[in-house]
A = this chain, B = another copy of it.
Amino acid sequence: MSVRYELIKECKRTKARLGRLHTPHGVIDTPVFMPVGTQATVKTMAPDELKTIGARIILSNTYHLYLRPGHELVRKAGGLHRFMNWDGAILTDSGGFQVFSLSDMRQITDAGVAFRSHIDGSSHLFTPEISMEIQMALGADIAMAFDECAPYPSDYQYTEQALVRTTAWAERCRSAHNRTDQALFGIVQGGMYADLRVRSARELTEMGFPGYGIGGLSVGEPKSLMYELLDCTVPELPTHKPRYLMGVGSPDCLLEGAARGIDMFDCVLPTRIARNGTVMTSQGKLVVRNAGNAEDFSPLDPECDCYTCRNFSRAYIRHLLKADEVLGIRLTTIHNLSFLLRLMGRIRAAIRDDCLPELRAEFLAKYEVAE
């Protein structure tokens, strides 16, 4: 097995668990947050900086890399790790979510999805087999099955149809995937319907994947509904396989997801809001551009020991952001990713010490949560 999940400890007071993900590119403590490197780079960051802040696995996007620079070029470079000079682990998504959310004029059939590139309008086709071919060329440690992510909201009938297709596509992905140094995870769908979530989880579990994504959540529904759906989905998944909640990464969702037995997360949130000049701090979100920070010579977060907070003031970073200087978004990105990766470390420590509920209460009391 190219990727193996080792269960270290189950929390006595929540469904959280401590584990280790063994990959060809290192052992990763879980629960883990994966920074997103859409175009073979975590925006603004160099690979050694990612290592320094504690990142051990990143996500990259099959849809984007297929369109630019092309998976054949990445294969010729010796795979994605060598192309981008990242020797940690990588997970590639399947391209499923992006063809639905980014591309133009898509047509979905049982065969696959025809779409037009968001870059130049050219026509393309993704099938489960093509997604596997691309992901095998990219050569990440973990590939994801090609799925249909129904839009939110969708009615029961459409959601069920997407689920059936996702199961059929998962089987085709498994047949097409033959790279032994790469794990293929299935993706649970089922929209906002608990019974469909349970059915999807059971159908995929029967196929026996080395790990499971939970897709189609955090797409606009209330967080309380997402938590309910996790509560009924996670117990259907095998104990000794990793569970990956796709596209979720706000601090409160990381705490709530971990408490529900999730092992892996990814999200563009920390890097995206960093580029808009907003940072996460122990006191909640801070809009650095605000005039109130103009003469504030304290760090972004006095409780943070990241490179940014050790070396630069709010006033300086605000100046850089207002002057459109690249160093500004570099510094906010370093801080936000450091903040989330440190939070994951605290979550793991709390699971070890059986005090995750206390960490959750303490953290959320200070950190303002948006619904």
Contacts and interface: CB of A to CB of B under 8 A. Distances in A.
B73 A295 contact: yes
A225 interface: no
B294 A73 contact: yes
B76 A325 contact: no
Nearest to A42: B327
Interface in A316-355: 316, 318-320, 322-323, 325-327, 329-330
Contacts of A73: 294-295, 315, 319
A311 B69 contact: no
A152 interface: no
A323 to B, nearest CB: 5
Contacts of A313: 77, 83
A319 B68 contact: yes
A40 B323 CA distance: 10
Contacts of A327: 41, 43-46
Contacts of A326: 43-44, 326, 329-330
A8 to B, nearest CB: 34
A158 interface: no
B46 A319 contact: no
A326 B295 CA distance: 28
Contact of A69 (B43, B294, B329, B330): B294
Given A325-B41, A326-B326, A326-B330, A316 B84 contact: yes
A41 B329 contact: no
A297 interface: yes
Given A294-B69, A329-B326, A330-B326, A316 B76 contact: no
Interface size bracket, A side: 35 or more
A205 interface: no
A123 interface: no
Contacts of A85: 311-312, 316
Given A69-B294, A85-B312, A312-B85, A319 B43 contact: no
Interface string A26-58: 000000000000011101111100000000000
A315 B45 CA distance: 18
A315 B69 CA distance: 9
Contacts of A76: 295, 297
A322 to B, nearest CB: 7
Given A43-B327, A69-B318, A76-B297, 14 more contacts: A41-B325, A43-B326, A46-B330, A68-B319, A73-B319, A76-B295, A77-B297, A77-B315, A77-B316, A83-B313, A83-B315, A83-B316, A85-B316, A330-B330
Interface of A: 39-41, 43-47, 68-69, 73, 76-78, 83-85, 294-295, 297, 311-313, 315-316, 318-320, 322-323, 325-327, 329-330
5 closest residue pairs by CB, A with B = A69-B319, A44-B326, A39-B323, A41-B327, A85-B311
